[in-house]
């Protein structure tokens, strides 16, 4: 658990920019949207005078703007630069790779684009921003019916970095029924894959699973969904203060996992609270 490297990198960039701005004693430091889905981590950044702001119209030459790990649509990035603000790109390299894949397949392969992911999520919006009118987000195999590109044209399928492989694979297979020229690119990141694999081990060993992370974080919700679908009692909490100790007492062994923007300290604190209750822990 704990921060994935993409989030850690974005926080480090914001830290450096905050120090630079403080040294110049002028200008504001903004992140384009919340840097992480975690109140505790955000407070640490805000303490340094770094705040989330997505209003491009109010940005100007005195501003330092940090792009978060989720990435951003190219036209939005262009507008921020045109405002005169200094832009620092905290886009996770794994997400940057997805943007590059989409660009390459559209230019070289003349492909239309399906993004396996949650429509409206910042990362998906950024990827669709690269694809423009030639892109669509699909969240499940059932949603494949809404893909209406001509079936004789090439189709490139990429994934939001925090998806579950089984969902990505099922969508690619479903699209193959209608599109003979489907090319799938599994762009689920290593941090997500290993977190999900670790969770599956916990599911095999434990009676209940506690997932620590924000309720609006895609990768956190995905972890909770995997545990629930495996038939485990699953508790999604934002921090250890939300643990229901009475409920926890009835389990022999509880597994703890965390989303990509949950600080490692939050997991340790939850483990300390649960340890005395669990005979097997």
Q: Which burial class, exposed, middle or buried, applies to 176 when counting CB atoms under 10 A from its CB (0-12, 13-18, 19+)? A: middle
Catalytic site includes residue 123: yes
Token pair 């407070």 in the structure block, residue: 43
User: Which two three-digit tokens encode residue 53?
Assistant: 């702001």
Tokens at 174, concatenated? 């479903």
Kindly state the tokens that stand for 128: 């669709």
Radius of gyration (C-alpha) of the chain in whole angstroms: 21
Q: Give the burial class of 274: count Cβ atoms within 10 A of its Cβ; 0-12 exposed, 13-18 middle, 19 or more buried.
A: buried
Bridge-partner residues for 66, per DSSP?
31, 88
Any idea which residue has 């919340």 for tokens?
Answer: 34
The backbone region for 110, taken as left when phi is positive above 0, alpha when psi lies in -120 to 50, beta otherwise, is left
Find the catalytic residue in 8, 46, 123, 228: 123
Torsion, CA 119, CA 124, CA 126, CA 132, rounded to 10: -60
**Adjacency order of strands within the sheet including 86-89:** 50-52, 29-31, 64-67, 86-89
Helices and strands: H and E segment counts in the chain: 10, 11
Q: Which residues are catalytic?
A: 123
């Amino acid at each position: 658990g704990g921060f994935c490297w993409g989030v850690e990198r974005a926080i480090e960039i914001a830290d450096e920019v905050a120090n630079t701005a403080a040294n110049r004693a002028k200008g504001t430091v903004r992140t384009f949207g919340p840097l992480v889905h975690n109140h505790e981590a955000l407070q640490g950044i805000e303490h340094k005078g770094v705040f989330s702001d997505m209003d491009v119209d109010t940005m100007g030459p005195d501003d330092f703007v940090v792009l978060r790990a989720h990435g951003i649509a190219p036209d939005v990035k262009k507008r921020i630069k045109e405002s005169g603000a200094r832009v620092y790109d905290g886009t996770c390299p794994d997400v940057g790779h997805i943007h590059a894949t989409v660009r390459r397949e559209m230019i070289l392969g003349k492909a239309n684009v399906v993004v396996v992911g949650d429509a409206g999520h910042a990362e998906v919006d950024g990827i669709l921003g690269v694809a423009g009118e030639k892109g669509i987000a699909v969240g499940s195999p059932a949603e494949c019916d809404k893909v209406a590109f001509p079936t004789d044209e090439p189709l490139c399928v990429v994934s939001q970095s925090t998806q579950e492989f089984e969902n990505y694979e099922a969508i690619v297979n479903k699209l193959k029924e209608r599109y003979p020229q489907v090319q799938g690119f599994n762009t689920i990141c290593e941090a997500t894959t290993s977190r999900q694999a670790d969770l599956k081990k916990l599911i095999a060993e434990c009676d209940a699973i506690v997932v620590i992370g924000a309720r609006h974080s895609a990768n956190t919700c995905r972890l909770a969904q995997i545990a629930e679908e495996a038939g485990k009692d699953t508790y999604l909490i934002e921090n250890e203060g939300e643990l229901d100790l009475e409920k926890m007492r009835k389990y022999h062994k509880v597994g703890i996992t965390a989303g990509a923007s949950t600080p490692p300290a939050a997991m340790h604190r939850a483990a300390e609270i649960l340890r005395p209750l669990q005979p097997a822990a």
